[in-house]
Structure 1
Amino acid sequence: MGHLDHAAFGWLTPVLSYVMACIGAALGLRCTVRALGATGRSRRNWLLTAASAIGTGIWTMHFVAMLGFSVSGTEMRYNVPLTILSLLVAMVVVGAGVFAVGYGRDRGRALVLGGLTTGLGVASMHYLGMAALRLHGQVHYDPALVALSVVIAVVAATAALWAALNIKSPVAVAIASLVMGGAVSSMHYTGMIAVSVRVSPSGEALPGATAMQFIFPLAVGLGSYLFLTSAFVALSPTAGEREASASAQRPVESVAR
């Protein structure tokens, strides 16, 4: 069995990956809150931004964490098409979950459907990302831990979407995103603890790209996208929110009319 190291660079990759997950979650939840206060094309655009933010945050978190993953006795490479597919799956499936919440008539049902979909999106992205791993040997999974990681992902996603629907204050969104970031990270490391590798040493060249050739530049690019989008969303006008809070304070008058 190969010795697995989940933090080859010490605390750097776990902490950095957690930060990325939190930024993605915060941006996604913020955009979902904005979407619920908007209509038409504006709502759709906010939901698309939310899906891309959460998807990107989760993907970047996973692969930044993977930069710290090493197996003794073998090099590692990543299959490029599968890695990109995992990013697209994260965005599309999380998108489906976010849209279920954004357009759901029945809040409760939308939340369950959205949480389940988004959670499964997180999990499928993780295991697709793992399937892209190329090394000398066989990778095995502990089914119970894999199942636990999927449950964590679904519960985390549902809790985060519930927060987006029910709490509007920036502090609450910040706390929700820290919780979601923590849950996504714990899902990742639970999934990683489920892994065991039977190394069969070989001098053959592995197919695929090294983490530094491919994963690192892509993570930097997506990280930059998250930061820039966060800045844009933070600075975009919130006149609608001010109107919403004003109208929320006088619902009786509008009903009376």
Structure 2
Amino acid sequence: MAEINHFEYGWITPALSYALSVLGSVLGLICAGRIRTASSAGQRAWWGILAAWAIGGTAIWTMHFMAMLGFAVSGSRIKYDVPVTVVSALLAVVAVGIGLAIVGTGRLSAVRLLAGGLFTGAGVAAMHYTGMAAMRLNGELGYDPTRVALSLLIAVVAATAALWLAMTVRRGVAIFASALVMGVAVNGMHFTGMSALSVHLHERRGEVAGAEVGSLLIPIVLLVIFGVVGLVYALLAAPTDEDRAAAAYLAARRAPAAEPVGDDSPDPVGLRARSTLARPGAQFPSRRDRPPR
């Protein structure tokens, strides 16, 4: 059995992975909050996609890959199968998106929350072990079933808590505190799953096929940067509740006063007629149309 090192570069990789998970959770929770205030189905779908990308893509999958940079096996180089790695990323985003759709359509209930948490948690666990299956090295991977089951349980609990927070948390301080908790849960699931891994090296060492970690790092970092910038821009460009209230107030100020309908109250001095003529655009009667004195 080969010796495994999960922290080859010390605490740099786990610290960066935790920071990414918190950053993605903050953006995802803010986007999920916009789902509740959206005025149309199209807007709800748009904010749901952004929330799924923030939580599934940044908080979960990018965190996983960053933590894997510190993973090393004595006696073997590690490379990655690019298509399988891409599939693992899609699994995370799609699983979170479906979970948000389950809890975000209709009234939030315990049944919806549990169903969304089970589906999303299973998807996150599938992402993790698919990402592990993308590794290419001179050996065979083995897993401890007990720790795998424990990692799956953590994934479901973490996903359920994340969905509940996404649908209930609104204030800035609460969002940040929730993101810190979500970061702990996501990293806890990852390293619990990694602790279940064992590697049995092959006696004959051959060339390992796949992409080097360094060749994948640059495009992933660029993807994270552009993704985060795009999410921040979408949040800043979207109108807030204050903007909508101000627009409604201005629209009400500009709208003409409503015409009185069916007002049969007495008007002895002609005030009603004078107020009508005083309105902008009112036509005064010509001289020949006036009644004789």
**TM-score (normalizing by structure 1):** 0.89
Residue 114 of structure 2 is matched in structure 1 by 112
State the shift of 1:242 in Å: 7.1
Distance 1:64 1:241 in 2: 38
Q: Whose relative contact order is higher, 1 or 2, with alpha carbons under 8 Å and at least 6 apart?
A: 1
Residue 219 of structure 2 is matched in structure 1 by 218
Distance 1:226 1:24 in 2: 10
| Distance change (3 Å), C-alpha of 1:10 and 1:146 | same
Q: Secondary structure at the match of 1:7?
A: coil
Residue 3 of structure 1 is matched in structure 2 by 3
Residue 123 of structure 1 is matched in structure 2 by 125
Q: Secondary structure at the match of 1:41?
A: helix
Question: Structure 2: which 5+ residue stretches go unaligned?
Answer: 246-293
Contact 1:56 1:226 in 2 (8 A): no
Distance 2:78 2:203 in 1: 12
Query: Does 1:158 pair with 2:173?
Result: no
Distance 2:204 2:223 in 1: 34
State the shift of 1:91 in Å: 1.1
Residue 29 of structure 2 is matched in structure 1 by 29
Structure 1 ranges of 4+ moved more than 6 A: 241-244
Tell me which protein shows more helix as a share of its residues. 1
Query: Does 1:16 pair with 2:8?
Result: no
State the shift of 1:219 in Å: 2.5
| Distance change (3 Å), C-alpha of 1:242 and 1:114 | farther
**TM-score (normalizing by structure 2):** 0.79
| Distance change (3 Å), C-alpha of 1:61 and 1:241 | farther
What is the identity, as a one-letter code, of the residue corresponding to 1:48? I
Distance 2:107 2:169 in 1: 19
Residue 241 of structure 2 is matched in structure 1 by 240
Question: Structure 1: which 5+ residue stretches go unaligned?
Answer: 245-257
Residues 163-242 of structure 1 mapped to structure 2, 5 A cutoff: 163-214=165-216, 216-240=217-241
